[in-house]
Every structure is written in structure tokens, then in C-alpha cells.
Amino acid sequence: MRDTIGNNNSDLTEMNRSAVVKILQQREVCSRADIAKQMGLTQASITKIVAALMEMGIVSEVGIMKGNGNRRSIGLKLNTDMHQIIGVKFARHMFGVGVFDISGKIYTQTETEYSIDEDHQSVIAAMKKQIYDMLDQYKNVVAIGLAVPGPYLKDDGHIAVITQMPAWHDINFIEEFKDEFNKPLYIVHDANAGALAEWWFGDHERPIHTLAYFLVGEGVGSGIIENGNLLLGVQGAASEIGHISIDFQGLRCECGNYGCLELYCSAQAMLKKARQHVPECLSESYPKSIEACNVVFEAARGGNQKALEIVKEVAEYIGYGCVTLINAYNPDIIVIGDSVSQGGDLLLPTIMEVVKQRTIPELCDRVQIKISSLKVDPTLYGAAAIATDKVVRMPSAFLAVEK
Amino acid sequence: MRDTIGNNNSDLTEMNRSAVVKILQQREVCSRADIAKQMGLTQASITKIVAALMEMGIVSEVGIMKGNGNRRSIGLKLNTDMHQIIGVKFARHMFGVGVFDISGKIYTQTETEYSIDEDHQSVIAAMKKQIYDMLDQYKNVVAIGLAVPGPYLKDDGHIAVITQMPAWHDINFIEEFKDEFNKPLYIVHDANAGALAEWWFGDHERPIHTLAYFLVGEGVGSGIIENGNLLLGVQGAASEIGHISIDFQGLRCECGNYGCLELYCSAQAMLKKARQHVPECLSESYPKSIEACNVVFEAARGGNQKALEIVKEVAEYIGYGCVTLINAYNPDIIVIGDSVSQGGDLLLPTIMEVVKQRTIPELCDRVQIKISSLKVDPTLYGAAAIATDKVVRMPSAFLAVEK
């Protein structure tokens, strides 16, 4: 769609085509009558829109389906395999590359570890090589999504603060990646990626009005989607829950603030607590906080009292984070994801208790809090979701198949 | 506009008419060419849209204006006096009623005080009577807006927590007001009202991407507008900055949370501090915290050291609130309003210092922080703004003048 205030007829057509694609993306098979009902348009209008989408190779008919009152109608589906998406996750210690289609189906994924001291240019070169390899192998890629740690400044192209890896602050991701592959490429920060993954591919009851994805991993962040749109702020740095203070007299964070939530419940914070209280569980060869989390969760499941205490403490802080998310965004669903959430069943009871105790009852009753159950890493999946989100908004531009 | 996913041609027409009205609302006088340029549509399309708006009595021609390159063109303006709006502010201790037009011009306003112990029904009856009186006097009223303290639950129609006045929790504002006056009536909480007032009528450089209105009065709250839309959350209770904790081990708030910002920098909090540290400034007859604020600010301006300390402390807490707003919403502008902001010049230096110290430099550099300079109470003005915002989205339905 054109980036203007006014809308002309072709904008209208594209909006409606996009709405049809989104419905099919969510429902797999659908009749024209179903779509007409859901969109509030006449069946004649839908028939016209669908004809254009079929002509472009975006939609196909798939035989007869039974509708209401035993009426038979023709089923429609998206030609998802014709529209693949590459998702790329760049994180501390590792990057991942995956190939998906616009329905969220995964074709392949790789993970590559690197040392935090490694030269940036060689890490970036390795990422690019893997993306080129995927493009060689998968010929129907229509767009690429890249997820990076936040707060990511969307117009400047760089990360404002990346704890533990300050040198990456100067990398301009737009310059490095935007025009590299001759495919539209979209960049989003990791928590927003997770939110998009949950919005597009998560197994939730719908419709959802306001979704909060609460990333609790090496960093802590959140992504908010209201009415289908990411809350971005002017620079794309909104919803930085990890840098909202829970104690104005707390320890200083690298971002400048004091008592940031990230200092209390990130994987790093868990590693510190583990070193202090259950050093016997950590072998010398645990340099990474993600693994430390799993070790603590395992020890807690085995009944280790000190490990249980660490888990309870971290769960309380995650609970405070949920209370802040509720007061800040009033979501109907909070999905907790990333490495710390691996301790889901151990964490949830305490989180729920804190939320119940500290939130206005009407808001508490309305919000559902759950651990992410996506089969794919939400950040990698979300990198694919940001590209999916963009291309289905402009189906004629991005999804039309050359004949 | 119809509340559906699909859009038909009449939706498109209405969107474009609304966009033209919004441009004229902001710019006073404008040519068709200016509008075409700003909307990204052809001049022929604009001529057609304007013709319809003129036919409906919404827009008039106002003679010749000079454009670029000395070309002369016909100026257009909104017939603002044909479209009046009643704004109603309901607050602790007082309510206000005002008549405005859709350009924000004020025609009249009244303020009525009541005791916090007064029976609700008599307060509501008094509000209704004043609204009826205004409707008798002003014949061009097209809609009514009502602002109430937050967190207000938009579908349930009641206030989830109203500190100091718990009995008002059970009043259903939708049932009481919605169908009373035979005019469309819109209800919004006070901080969202303030945000709309600043968005529509504030004297700021535009365009604004994300505006945060920070209400610091008897309660503390915020309203966020991103891309022209209020951030609401699923129940309308988003952006409750007053109940976001700044100290998870702090005092308990009526909302259930501990260490809520509202406990530290509301007018109530200032009154408490004043009673403790400058009791000599408070006469027995200061029951209201709003007046206590002004007394403290006056004493501080007069050089009273203890009053200056209170002001500095409150400013620091407001600063922490701004840091949270920046991390939560990444606004390009924060406007501080309501009673505590009366101490604007005394507060701002400390607020700015705290923000500078505690925010990521790139975000800090981007945000402008100012004290509201609206000539009318932002909450009352905002009550008018919510109704204005709704009617200009549907000009054919609400603004067409009967002939």
C-alpha cells in the first residue's frame, strides 16, 4: 500500500486482497461464503477478489467442502509452498537461519554458535553465507526477516544497548543486510519477533485484541501487538520491559537506569544466582547462561532446595514483570518465552500468585498468562513472521507467481 | 465506518472524507491542491470529495489564497460553528462541563465542586442537569464526550479503582449516560482525554508519531496515542503508569500493587509531605490536595527550603515516571499535565536531569518533555476531543448539516 493518508481504489483492492489472504492463512481451507461473512462484504465482491488472487497464483480451489445447512461449496486455500520466507535470528552467542512458508510451516533450520569475542565482520559474513546457501536451495523465497536483540532503532539500523556485547552497538544492520539479497528484507527486535510469531502461528483462542510476548532469556524484553499492529514507538524501541525499573534505588544497568527488571530475572541473573547458591551443579564448562538455566531447573525438579529457591525468586520477578505488562498494556494474553521459560511448570504457580496479589481484580481476571508452546524458537519463527506479516499486507506486490 | 475487516467503496469514501476534515481541522484554511498533495491523491479526487463535503454543509469556500509560485487558489475551511461538542469532566471533588466546536474553540465552561461524601446519585443528577442546560442553550451540539478517572473499563462502563472514592466503583457510566441525551456520547478515562486534547489541540510541532500525556494530579495516569490511535488494551485500561511500581518492596496501593508511582508524586502525596514538612503553610481550611500543591509551589518560589526539597523530591519521582514512559512507549513527546504540573518551571530541570541520567542516550535525545500549555483544563478539553475524534472519523454520519 502507498504510504499516504488518502486511499484510492487500488489501495482498497489491495487491503481487501490482504484481508482474504490473512483469513486463509489462519483457517487453511475456507469457502467464498465464509470469507464474505467474516469480512462483511457481499459474496460477489469476494468472488471478484478471489478470482484476482487465483489469477496471480496465490490462491487455489481444493474441491468441495460442506458448509452450513449441508450446502456444498468450493474450498479455497493459499498456495503456501509457492511463498517461502527465510527467518534469521541474531543473538548473543548464536545465530539461526530457517526456511518457512507463509503458513508457518518449517522446511529447515540451522544454528551456529560463535564466541562473544569473535570479530563482528566474520560473524556477519557467516550469517550472509548461510542465507545465500538457503536461497540457492529454496527457490520460492519471497522475503527475508531478521530478528536482532532490542532496543533496536528501526530507522538508524542499530541496537541502542546490547548488554554483554557493547561492540555490536555500532553495526548498522540496515546497511549490512537491506540490499544484500535482492529480496525484501525486514528487521525487527527479538521480542517483537516473538510477539509476531505468537500472533501469527501461536496456538491461542482467537480473536486476540492485545497480545504481550514476554521474552525472558539472556535479555529481557517484550513485544506488544494491539489490533494486529506492533506497538513500535517513534524509533521502534517501545515495550522495553527489561529496562523498566522495578526498584528506583536498585543496581545500575548498562542502559543507564537503576533496578531494571532484566537485572533480576534474565538468564544471566540466574547464572549469577546459580554460581552463588548451587555452584556444585555447574561444571566449569558452563559458560552460557542458557545452559545454567536448564541446570537449575533440572536440580529444582530433582528436589534441590537451593535450586527451588532460585526458581521461586526468579518467578517472583517475572511476576512483577507481568504486573507491569498488565498496567502498561492491558493485554488479554501474555505469552512468556525464551530460555528462562523452559522452567514453565516450575515458574507459573508463583507468577500467577504474584499477579493475583498485585493486579486490579478486573484486569487480572481478563488476562491469560501462558508459557510459549511454539515448536520453533519464537525469535527465529518471529523473524519469519515479520516478513510474512509484510508480504500478506501487499499480496499483489509480493505473492503473485510468475507464469 | 462499519466495524468489519473488509472495506467497500463507501468505507473508502468515508475514510477519505474524514482525512480531508482532519487536515482542515489542523490547518484552518487550505486549498484543494494542498489537500491533494498531503493525501497523495489526484486533485480530481479531492475536488469530488470536497464537493460532497460542501454539499453536506461541512466545508465552505473562503475566497482566494496565494499558493506556491504565486498561483492563486480557492481557500477551504471547516464550518466549525455548525458542529459543537459538549465535554464533561468527572473528577474527585468536582465536575466540569464545557461547550466547544470541532476546531477546539471554547464557547463556555462551568465547574462544580462536590464533597467526596456526597451521594452519587445527586452528583450524577447535577451533572445531567448542567448538560441539559447546555443543550438548551447551544443548538448545534453533535456529540458529547465524558472523561472519568482511570482505570476505566470501557465495555463494563465502570472505574476499576478510584482511590479515595471506592463507592464510585459501582457506578455504571454507560448505563447512566449513554442513552440519556439523544446524542452520540463517548466515554474515556481522564489521561486518555488529556492525550487526545494534546493530540488535537496542543501547540506542538507536527507530525507527532507517539504522544504520551502524563497526568500528575490527584491521581497519576497516562494516555498514549500512536499514529493517531489511543493505546487502549483489551478493556481500555492500558497505560496505567500510576499503578506501575517503581519499588516492588514499596507501600501497598489500593490497586493491590506495591510501590505504585501514584503513591510518590500525586497531589495527595504532595499534601502528605506538606503536612509533614511545611505545616505552617497549610491553613486548616486546605482539605484539597490541588490547593496544597499550589501552596507548596508558592512557598518554594518564595525560597522556603523545605518546600523546595518537597518539590525536588516530587520532580524526581515524576522523572522516574518519564523514564518508564520512554521505555514502555518510546514517545517523541511527553506532555505533563494536571495539578502537579502547575509547578512546571520548578519541576522541569530535575525531571530532565533524571531522564538524562537514566535513559538510553538515543531515546533520551529523541524525546521532547514539556508541561502542558493548553488554555483549557486538558481533561475537560480531552472530553471534547474524544467526541471530536469520533465525529470527524465519520463526517457523513455526524457532521452533515440538515437543510
Residues A173 and A165 sit within 8 Å (Cβ to Cβ): no
What dihedral angle (degrees, nearest 10) is formed by the CA atoms of B387, B388, B392, B398?
50
Closest by CA position to B322, among listed B359, B372, B293, B349: B359
Average pLDDT over residues B292-309: 93
Distance from CA of B23 to the nearest CA of A (A): 10
Residue B26 pLDDT > 70? yes
By CA distance, what is A358's nearest residue in B?
A: B257
CB atoms within 10 A of CB B121: 10
- Beta bridge partners, B87, equal B98, B145
Q: Write the DSSP symbol of residue B156.
A: T
Sign of the C-alpha dihedral, residues B106, B109, B115, B118? negative
CATH 1.10.10.10 range(s) for chain A read: 9-78
Task: Name, in order, each residue with C-beta under 8 angstroms of B252's C-beta and a sequence gap of 6 or more.
Answer: B258
Which of A43-52, A226-235, B11-20 has the least mean pLDDT? Answer: B11-20
Q: Shortest CB distance from B320 goes to which of A23, A245, A359?
A: A245
Task: Name, in order, each residue with C-beta under 8 angstroms of A205's C-beta and a sequence gap of 6 or more.
Answer: none
C-alpha cell at A115: 564466541
Which of B140-149, B192-201, B284-293 has the least mean pLDDT? Answer: B284-293
Give CA–CA dist B176/B170, Å, rounded: 12
Task: Specify the higher pLDDT residue, B54 or A224.
Answer: A224
Give CA–CA dist A18/A71, Å, rounded: 27
Prediction ipTM score: 0.92
Distance from CA of A158 to the nearest CA of B (A): 11
Closest by CA position to B87, among listed B392, B383, B377: B383
Residue A156 pLDDT > 70? yes
Label each residue of A161-218 as H, E or C: CCCCCHHHHHCCHHHHHCCCCCCCEEEEEHHHHHHHHHHHHCCCCCCCCEEEEEEECC
Average pLDDT over residues B96-120: 92
Give CA–CA dist A364/A357, Å, rounded: 9
State residue A69's pLDDT score. 66
Give CA–CA dist A143/A59, Å, rounded: 18
Residue A395 pLDDT > 80? yes
Spell out which residues of chain A touch residue B30, defining contact as CB-CB under 8 Å: none
Would you call B361 and A238 a contact, using CB atoms and an 8 Å cutoff?
A: no
Distance of CA B266 to the CA centre of its chain: 18
Average pLDDT over residues A352-358: 98
Measured between alpha carbons, how far is residue B393 from residues A225, B213, B229, B264, B397 in Å?
23, 22, 12, 39, 9
Spell out which residues of chain A touch residue B247, defining contact as CB-CB under 8 Å: 246-249
Residue to mutate among B24, B362, B366, B392, with most A CBs inside 10 A, is: B362
Spell out which residues of chain A touch residue B157, defining contact as CB-CB under 8 Å: none
Would you call B328 and A210 a contact, using CB atoms and an 8 Å cutoff?
A: no
Would you call B256 and A232 a contact, using CB atoms and an 8 Å cutoff?
A: no
Q: Shortest CB distance from B330 goes to which of A7, A233, A256?
A: A233
Q: Write the DSSP symbol of residue B104.
A: -
Average pLDDT over residues B324-353: 95
Q: Shortest CB distance from B238 goes to which of A161, A240, A329?
A: A329
Distance from CA of A130 to the nearest CA of B (A): 32
Third-level CATH fold of B82-196+379-398: Nucleotidyltransferase; domain 5 (3.30.420)
Give CA–CA dist A255/A151, Å, rounded: 10
Spell out which residues of chain B touch residue A233, defining contact as CB-CB under 8 Å: 209-210, 226, 329-331
User: Which of these CATH numbers, 3.30.420.40, 3.30.465.10, 3.40.50.12780, 3.30.750.24, describes A203-373?
Assistant: 3.30.420.40
Coil, helix or strand for A95?
strand
State residue A10's pLDDT score. 76
Residue A67 pLDDT > 80? no
**For residue A160, which amino acid is it?**
A
Would you call B358 and A258 a contact, using CB atoms and an 8 Å cutoff?
A: yes
- The pLDDT confidence band at residue A1, using thresholds 50, 70 and 90, is very low
Distance from CA of A224 to the nearest CA of B (A): 10
Task: Name, in order, each residue with C-beta under 8 angstroms of B33's C-beta and a sequence gap of 6 or more.
Answer: B43, B67, B73
State residue B69's pLDDT score. 66
pLDDT digits (tens, 9 = 90+) for A293-317: 888 999 999 999 999 999 999 999 9
Distance from CA of B93 to the nearest CA of A (A): 23
Spell out which residues of chain B touch residue A329, defining contact as CB-CB under 8 Å: 231, 233, 238-239
State residue B403's pLDDT score. 57
Q: Shortest CB distance from B258 goes to which of A41, A358, A366?
A: A358
Spell out which residues of chain A touch residue B324, defining contact as CB-CB under 8 Å: 244-245
State residue A15's pLDDT score. 84
Spell out which residues of chain A touch residue B234, defining contact as CB-CB under 8 Å: 209-210, 330-332, 366
Task: Name, in order, each residue with C-beta under 8 angstroms of B121's C-beta and a sequence gap of 6 or more.
Answer: none
Residues A40 and B6 sit within 8 Å (Cβ to Cβ): yes
Would you call B245 and A246 a contact, using CB atoms and an 8 Å cutoff?
A: yes
Distance from CA of B68 to the nearest CA of A (A): 21
By CA distance, what is B253's nearest residue in A?
A: A358
Residues A235 and A264 sit within 8 Å (Cβ to Cβ): no
- Beta bridge partners, B258, equal B252
Give CA–CA dist B37/B45, Å, rounded: 11
Cβ-based contacts under 8 A for chains A and B: 200
| Mean pLDDT across chain B | 90
pLDDT digits (tens, 9 = 90+) for A110-152: 999 998 888 999 999 999 999 999 999 999 999 999 999 988 9
Measured CA angle at B164 (ends B162, B170), to 5 deg: 45
Residues in chain B: 403
Measured CA angle at B107 (ends B106, B112), to 5 deg: 90
Q: What is the DSSP string of B199-234?
A: HHH----S--SEEEEEEESSSEEEEEEETTEE---S
- The pLDDT confidence band at residue A25, using thresholds 50, 70 and 90, is confident
Would you call A226 and B235 a contact, using CB atoms and an 8 Å cutoff?
A: no
Distance from CA of B314 to the nearest CA of A (A): 14
Distance from CA of B321 to the nearest CA of A (A): 10
Coil, helix or strand for A92?
coil
State residue A240's pLDDT score. 96
Distance from CA of B225 to the nearest CA of A (A): 10
Which of A152-166, A354-368, B252-266 has the least mean pLDDT? Answer: A152-166
Q: Write the DSSP symbol of residue B151.
A: S
Residue B107 pLDDT > 90? yes
Third-level CATH fold of A9-78: Arc Repressor Mutant, subunit A (1.10.10)
Spell out which residues of chain B touch residue A236, defining contact as CB-CB under 8 Å: 330
Would you call A39 and B357 a contact, using CB atoms and an 8 Å cutoff?
A: no
Q: Which helix (H) or strand (E) holds A109?
A: strand A106-113
C-alpha cell at B104: 477546539
Helix B9-27 with B43-55: angle, nearest 10 deg: 80
C-alpha cell at A48: 471478484
Average pLDDT over residues B53-81: 84
Average pLDDT over residues B225-241: 95
Residue to mutate among A15, A235, A368, with most B CBs inside 10 A, is: A235
Task: Name, in order, each residue with C-beta under 8 angstroms of A329's C-beta and a sequence gap of 6 or more.
Answer: A210, A212, A224, A226, A231, A239, B231, B233, B238, B239
Percent of chain B topping pLDDT 70: 96
Closest by CA position to A190, among listed A143, A141, A227, A240: A240
Coil, helix or strand for A67?
coil
The beta strand positions in B23-138, using DSSP E, are 30-31, 59-66, 72-78, 84-90, 94-101, 106-113
CATH 3.30.420.40 range(s) for chain B read: 82-196+379-398, 203-373
pLDDT digits (tens, 9 = 90+) for A314-333: 999 999 999 999 999 999 99
pLDDT digits (tens, 9 = 90+) for B146-166: 999 988 999 999 999 887 788
Residues B351 and B386 sit within 8 Å (Cβ to Cβ): no
Give CA–CA dist B252/B237, Å, rounded: 20
Spell out which residues of chain A touch residue B41, defining contact as CB-CB under 8 Å: 4, 6, 8
State residue B258's pLDDT score. 98
State residue A65's pLDDT score. 82
Q: Shortest CB distance from A257 goes to which of B234, B257, B359?
A: B359
**For residue B85, which amino acid is it?**
I
What dihedral angle (degrees, nearest 10) is formed by the CA atoms of B388, B394, B399, B401?
-170
Closest by CA position to A318, among listed A378, A374, A269, A376: A269
State residue B85's pLDDT score. 96
| Mean pLDDT across chain A | 91
Average pLDDT over residues A235-256: 96
Measured CA angle at A158 (ends A157, A164), to 5 deg: 160
Residue B305 pLDDT > 80? yes
Q: Shortest CB distance from A40 goes to which of B2, B40, B327?
A: B2
Would you call B234 and A210 a contact, using CB atoms and an 8 Å cutoff?
A: yes
- The pLDDT confidence band at residue A2, using thresholds 50, 70 and 90, is very low
CB atoms within 10 A of CB A109: 18
